[in-house]
Amino acid sequence: ENNKNFFAVDLGATSGRTIIGNIKDGKVILEEVTRFPNNLIQTHGQFYWDIYALYNEIIRGLKEVAKRGLEITSIGIDTWGVDFVFIGEDGQILRNPRAYRDPHTFSAMEDYLKNVKSKKELYDVTGIQLMNFNSIFQLYAMRRAENSALENAAKILFVPDALSWMLTGNDVCEYTIASTAELLDPRTGQLDEELLATLGLSRSKFGKMVQPGTLIGTLTAEVQEMTGLGAVPVYAVAGHDTGSAVAAVPAKDEEFAYLSSGTWSLMGIETKECIINDKSYELNFTNEGGIEGTTRFLKNICGMWLLERCRKEWSDSVPSDYPTLFGNAMKVQGFQSIINPDDKMFANPANMEEAIKEYCRMTGQHVPEGYAEVIRCIFDSLALRYRQVFTWLKEFASFDITTLHIIGGGSKNDYLNQFTANATGVNVLAGPQEGTALGNIMVQAKAVGMVKDIWEMRKIIANSLELIEYHPKDEELWDENYNKFLGICNKMEEKR
């Protein structure tokens, strides 16, 4: 009873993994079962995900577990936010899901805000930061285009819920993932009927709203047969990966900020109530739903996406291992080229390195040459942008932020961790790298009564790993370059 295995499916926008988490004697140990790429598919000028391939990867992971003779207590799935799948009257998937990087939402958002609801009206209801790819604008873009899958949809399921449905046959609408849609009112905890109506949708198109920890169902006979497993329960976890990650921050008390570092860098604080006011509106901070009624008050910062995209584009002559790449980036002169990582030029450019160079050209800076200078530019700029967001966060927090926890795959980046401490002037604690999977596993453990609450989860996680600490250095240098960063951002705004 004091030793259980939980199976976590954690899907990010560039890669996915299945992981076994074993909890025993107050400690958790992870073992990766499978890891696989998640690729954007481009066709006829549109971008999609392959939901069937993702499903197959989950099946492959489950088969592997059965093969090893491991007994698993339950399964939980988390993914990136906002994207969804349409299900037809006949219980079949209507087309692969559109990917949030698809640029069709840029004009849809403008159109919606001009003709349907104002920015402020939307924010007052949802407390969600305005981002072009939020589900509301994706759905609006599809409505406008008379998208035949939307027109024929009997059900709309967010990606983690769609995958749970493929495994169990039961459809739900999990709260944390639903909160990313910009359709949910955090005060009622429900999708807002009036906003849905602006898209020609009703509440009945979505599954029943459930909180993390709710049983969705058990593996269907079909899946049992395919995998060789029994009727394993599937629980709703924090279906939003960032929700799972923040649940796993190994903090001792509430006075922390976090930076969940992956394709995106999500920087924020955890609060008991949402913060929806003029200032949060102006600075475009979001209030996403967390576990146990918590709110993730944060901002999306373009994170490793910049580097991931560059690496995809670079030829074989560029080293592929991080130590060499990063080591060489540290040898070049710092702060020669500074970008705003969140400039829309970098959202989904045809060529990322070119976009970075173009930004530097447009702002009259040194144009980075070669991979080392490009990477240095990305790291310097990310740290400076972190400082900006951190400065704002301090103004919102009702407590003194004593620690910045960096979690997720990006937390193994020693150089960037140190830069982040330097730029923000706060102590940084790095780890765990697999925060998302840990949060996923802990919510399952809570669902079966093995842990009590979020603070016990965090204690178990903190007990199970070694955190690395970074103290701020070179204060003046970073002050100076922060001012330079602000100047460059302004210059770019003026050009537009």
What residues are labeled active site? 241
For ligand LFR, which is the closer residue by CB, 4 or 405?
A: 405
For ligand LFR, which is the closer residue by CB, 100 or 371?
A: 100
Tell me the C-alpha distance between 158 and 179, whole Å. Answer: 11
Q: Which residue is nearest to ligand LFR (CB)?
A: 81
Tell me the C-alpha distance between 98 and 80, whole Å. Answer: 13
Beta carbons within 8 Å of 92's beta carbon, 6+ residues apart: none
How many Cβ atoms from other residues are within 10 Å of residue 272's Cβ? 10
Tell me the C-alpha distance between 390 and 384, whole Å. Answer: 10
For ligand LFR, which is the closer residue by CB, 280 or 300?
A: 300
165 binds ligand LFR (CB under 6 A): no
423 binds ligand LFR (CB under 6 A): no
Structure tokens at 133: 């790819």
Amino acid, single-letter form, for residue 252 = K
Taking a C-beta distance cutoff of 8 angstroms, is the pair 24, 45 a contact? no
264 binds ligand LFR (CB under 6 A): yes
Q: What is the CA radius of gyration of the chain?
A: 22
Q: Closest Cα partner for 335 from 481, 475, 476? A: 481
Amino acid, single-letter form, for residue 468 = I
175 binds ligand LFR (CB under 6 A): no
Stretch that binds ligand LFR, among 185-193, 262-270, 378-386, 438-446 (CB under 6 A): 262-270
Quote the least distance from Cβ 14 to ligand LFR, whole Å.
Answer: 9
The DSSP annotation for 267-299 comes to EEEEESS---SHHHHHTT-EEEE-GGG-EEEEE
Tell me the C-alpha distance between 242 and 165, whole Å. Answer: 21
For ligand LFR, which is the closer residue by CB, 135 or 418?
A: 135
Name which position in 74, 218, 242, 280 contacts ligand LFR (CB under 6 A): 242
Binding flags for ligand LFR, 56-95, as an x/- string (CB under 6 A): ------------------------xxx-------------
Taking a C-beta distance cutoff of 8 angstroms, is the pair 178, 184 a contact? yes
How many Cβ atoms from other residues are within 10 Å of residue 252's Cβ? 12
Q: 222 to 241, contacts with ligand LFR by CB under 6 A?
A: 240-241
For ligand LFR, which is the closer residue by CB, 177 or 430?
A: 177
300 binds ligand LFR (CB under 6 A): yes
Stretch that binds ligand LFR, among 217-225, 258-266, 423-431, 448-456 (CB under 6 A): 258-266
Q: 8 to 37, contacts with ligand LFR by CB under 6 A?
A: 12-13
Quote the least distance from Cβ 426 to ligand LFR, whole Å.
Answer: 22
Secondary structure element (H or E) that encloses residue 187, with its range: none
212 binds ligand LFR (CB under 6 A): no
Which residues of this chain interact with ligand LFR, rule CB under 6 A? 12-13, 80-82, 100, 240-242, 262-264, 266, 300
